[in-house]
Every structure is written in structure tokens, then in C-alpha cells.
Amino acid sequence: MNISIELLRRYPWLPSLKNFYADFASKDPIEFIDDVFSKSSNEEIGRRLLKIFSTAFDRLEEIQDFKTDELNIYIYLIIKILLYIIDNKIITNRVANLYSKQAYNDLLNERDDANIYDICEDLALNFKYSDPPYQYGLIYNKDQIEILQTNFKIHFIDYLRLAANLHDDYRKLVHNALAEGYVFIDKKDLMRLIQEYVRKKLTIEDNRTDLDIQNFRNLIFKNSEFKALYDRILETWEVKKEEFEYSFEFKYDDKIDISESFPPCIKEILRRIEEGQNIIHIERLFLVFFLHALDYPRENILELFSRLPDFDSKIAEYQIDFAKKKEYTPHSCQTLKSLNLCMAQKYKDEICLEGYYSKKLDTKRVLSHPLFYFQFKQFKKSFKPKENMSIERNKNE
């Protein structure tokens, strides 16, 4: 298989990496790290890696200024080494989701079908390509007829293998056109399957033991620059992890109106939906994560989304179910501020602007999460006002 070096730089997870970069593949990982960190580009590599990890910790979906040059190959391999020694499932999943999403976006931007063809070949997929496209169905819509067509079809065994962890109804084999063992698949769905392949490459666990990992850490930490990078990543995680470990229990009751306890950032999104305005993707995600955390019924969230001008029930259902399944927590105040979604100033909200009292610390704390806001408001509602109102922020505080 002849895949171009440019494609490998863009997609270093392709199997051909081991042919082009046989010197890497055969190298001991410790030697590899020493080599990479002795090059003049080591600072650039460290900077980019830190950015990938902190973007994943912030649960953003795109790596800003992501470069697909030669260094991208080193970066991919070092991510794998870092995930191995960090040995934290949440971090691994975060990074794998982000990195595979980046690959998906880059694949969608491929203009030339020949590149997609080469990638599928390199992945040893059993697929067929046709130009002009295969026509595999008709959709009758009032007086119009839409022809369903695609350039790609993939053998059902490979389809099932790649789609095994994707549980959306419309991906089930019975909902897809199939002929002579091949599933007709549009390019976007094919890219989604490849995204899943990339995600698995970063998440698959081997039979490692804690002792194996510790021994490997001891050896690899002899490289002080690599150790410093590892420490910085974990420091960043320490600052962010509260958001991930935050647990919140609230039982939704449709007879009680809780909207008064919503923070300004949520109120603003709901106000715009009420006015029939559109909201951007990240606002949709934040709203879904927030309402899920409050145990809002799926139908109520769907009803809210149905008021959006570009409402598409299939996409909305997918987003809602996906967020529920992954149990994502809503974004923190810091992340919302960086995305310009914090509405504290606009609503001149005292809790958001000035903070609140923590029961155990008995000092004023800066608000760090929209769910703390909700919790505090609910607490205030359930007790008669007293001086030094406070909340139990979480059991570890």
C-alpha cells in the first residue's frame, strides 16, 4: 500500500506509520523519548501536547491551531505514552474523544476522494468506491423525489466492527441500505466510523499491571524534560478535575418550577430559545449537560430544542442521548467565561459576581460552577434566611 507521507503526517494513527517510520516502530519508547526531547523542536512539542491535554480537560471539541506537520507524528506517539503512564480512565477518554474528533473534522475537510480511498485501504477495510456514485434508493417528499446516492459502500462485517460502540438507532444495520453484503454509507458516516477507530487506538487497554506502569514511569522519568511535561499536565488536571469529579444529586419534579434557580448563563440561553433565536453548538451542549444534571426528562429537553429555528429531531435526539450516555457534567464558569457564555455582568448577578459562603470554610468563595449556583439557590429556598447563609459545597471540602 502506497500512502503519501503528507497523509501520514495528517493522520499518524494509520497502520502505514510503522512502514514509513520503521526506526520509530522498532525503537524502545525510552530511546524514542530521549531522541525527541533532544531535538530543537522539543519546546514546540511540549507546548502542543499541553494544549491538547488542556483542551481535552476543558471538554472543548476542537484543538485550536492544530498542525499536521512532521511533529504531529511525534505528538501522536507521545500522547500514547503519556496516556499509558498517567493511567487515568477519565483523562484517557477525554483525550481520545478530542483527538478522534479532530481527526473526524480533518477527514471531513478532505476534498479529494482519492485520499479517503487511500485511508480506507490503509485501514484494510473491505470497501468499494464508485464514481459516478451508487444510487441505492429514492425518497418521495410530496411532489419531489430525492435520489439516495453515495460513492462508498463498506462490507457489513467491517461496518459492524467499527460501529460496535455507536448505539444510535439509525446506525443499526437494519436501518441502512445493504446489497450483496455491502452497506451503502455516505462520506460523513464513513468518517464517523474512522473516528471511532482512532478513539479506540487511544483507549484500548492491554494487560498491564500497576507494577509494569510504575517500572516504566521510573525509566522514562530519567528524561527530565519529559518528566516536567508530565508534571505540568497533571498540575493542569488537578485544577480542572473538580469539574469532573463534581457529583450532584437532584430529583426532578415536574410540579415544581426550578427555573428561578438557574444561573444567568442558562437563563440567557433559554431566553433566546424562547424568542425563537438560534443558539450555537456549544450552547446546545452546555444546556443539555446542565439539564441532564438536574435529571430533566428527555422529552422536556427535546421540546425545548424543538423551538429552535433549525430544529432537526434526529440530530437533537442524538445530542441529548449522547450527552446522557456519556454522563458529561456541564462546563465550569472558567470555561464558560473563556467561551464568552458567562452572563454574570449582563444580569448583574450577585452570587456570580461576588461569590457565596461555604459552610465548612465559612469564607466567601468565588463561584466556579453553574451547578453550585443552582445548588445554592435551592438551599436558600429551602431554609428561612439567616445570617451567614452557606452551603455544603461538596463532601470533601
Separation of alpha carbons 277 and 310, rounded Å: 10
Considering only 3, 83, 343, 391, the residue that binds ligand SF4 (CB under 6 A) is 343
Q: What are phi and psi of 134, to 5 degrees?
A: -70, 140
Considering only 185, 320, 344, 391, the residue that binds ligand SF4 (CB under 6 A) is 344
Nearest residue (CB) to ligand SF4, 54 versus 334: 334
* Binding of ligand SF4 by 264 (CB under 6 A): yes
* Binding of ligand SF4 by 63 (CB under 6 A): no
Please identify, among the stretches 142-150, 158-166, 196-204, 340-348, the one whose residues bind ligand SF4 according to the rule CB under 6 A: 340-348
* Binding of ligand SF4 by 46 (CB under 6 A): no
Shortest distance in whole angstroms from residue 359 CB to ligand SF4: 19
Considering only 323, 342, 376, 393, the residue that binds ligand SF4 (CB under 6 A) is 342
CA angle 176, 197, 242 (to 5 degrees): 110
Separation of alpha carbons 263 and 291, rounded Å: 12
Query: What sign results for the dihedral spanned by CA atoms 118, 120, 121, 126?
Result: negative
* Binding of ligand SF4 by 370 (CB under 6 A): yes
* Binding of ligand SF4 by 336 (CB under 6 A): yes
For 319, the grid coordinates are 445530542
Please identify, among the stretches 69-77, 180-188, 198-206, 337-345, the one whose residues bind ligand SF4 according to the rule CB under 6 A: 337-345
Nearest residue (CB) to ligand SF4, 122 versus 243: 243
Nearest residue (CB) to ligand SF4, 96 versus 341: 341
Considering only 103, 291, 367, 391, the residue that binds ligand SF4 (CB under 6 A) is 367
Please identify, among the stretches 120-128, 207-215, 263-271, 289-297, the one whose residues bind ligand SF4 according to the rule CB under 6 A: 263-271
Q: What are phi and psi of 280, to 5 degrees?
A: -80, 170
Rg of the chain on CA atoms, in Å:
24
Tell me the one-letter amino acid at 287.
L
Chain-centre distance for alpha carbon 395: 28
Considering only 263, 285, 296, 390, the residue that binds ligand SF4 (CB under 6 A) is 263
Shortest distance in whole angstroms from residue 329 CB to ligand SF4: 13
Considering only 293, 352, 358, 375, the residue that binds ligand SF4 (CB under 6 A) is 352
Sequence-distant (6+) residues with CB within 8 A of 299 are: none
* Binding of ligand SF4 by 289 (CB under 6 A): no
By the 8 A CB rule, do 172 and 160 touch? no
For 148, the grid coordinates are 439516495
Interface size with ligand SF4, residues (CB under 6 A): 12
By the 8 A CB rule, do 133 and 166 touch? no
By the 8 A CB rule, do 326 and 361 touch? no
Shortest distance in whole angstroms from residue 267 CB to ligand SF4: 8
Nearest residue (CB) to ligand SF4, 107 versus 344: 344
Nearest residue (CB) to ligand SF4, 265 versus 391: 265
Footprint on residues 175-204 left by ligand SF4 (CB under 6 A)? none
Footprint on residues 296-315 left by ligand SF4 (CB under 6 A)? none
Separation of alpha carbons 71 and 8, rounded Å: 11
Shortest distance in whole angstroms from residue 91 CB to ligand SF4: 24
* Binding of ligand SF4 by 373 (CB under 6 A): yes
For 278, the grid coordinates are 438560534
Separation of alpha carbons 191 and 106, rounded Å: 9
Separation of alpha carbons 326 and 324, rounded Å: 6
Shortest distance in whole angstroms from residue 218 CB to ligand SF4: 42
Sequence-distant (6+) residues with CB within 8 A of 40 are: none
Shortest distance in whole angstroms from residue 353 CB to ligand SF4: 8
Separation of alpha carbons 45 and 109, rounded Å: 24
Using a 10 angstrom Cβ sphere, with 0-12 exposed, 13-18 middle and 19 or more buried, the burial of residue 297 is: exposed
Considering only 77, 86, 265, 391, the residue that binds ligand SF4 (CB under 6 A) is 265
Instruction: Compute CA distances 132 → 149, 150, 221, whole Å.
Output: 9, 9, 55
Shortest distance in whole angstroms from residue 332 CB to ligand SF4: 8
Instruction: State the residues that interact with ligand SF4 by CB under 6 A.
Output: 263-265, 333, 336, 342-344, 352, 367, 370, 373
